[in-house]
Amino acid sequence: MNMAQELSKKVIWALSLPGKVAPVSSAAAIRDTIYNILSGEELSV
């Protein structure tokens, strides 16, 4: 946010927007990301 202010840009925090608009797709993306992180750490899922 500080960088946006320095650049005179407006920031809209819409952190929950993906879950409201496409809950199944956003959940799948989060799941896949977590699995990729765990597999990179050589942990079983």
Cβ pair 4, 11 in contact under 8 A = yes
Pair 33, 27: CB distance under 8 Å: no
In this structure, is residue 38 part of a structural domain? yes
Q: What is the pLDDT of residues 9-22, one digit of tens each?
A: 988 887 787 888 89
Tell me if 3 is assigned to some domain: no
12 Cβ contact list (under 8 Å, min separation 6): none
What's the structural domain count of the chain? 1
Is the full-model pTM beyond 0.75? no
CA atoms of 45 and 34, how far apart (whole Å): 9
Q: Which domain holds residue 38?
A: 15-45
Structural domain includes residue 41: yes
Structural domain contains residue 2: no
In a domain, 7, yes or no: no
For the segment 35-45, what is each residue's pLDDT rounded down to a tens digit? 998 888 665 55
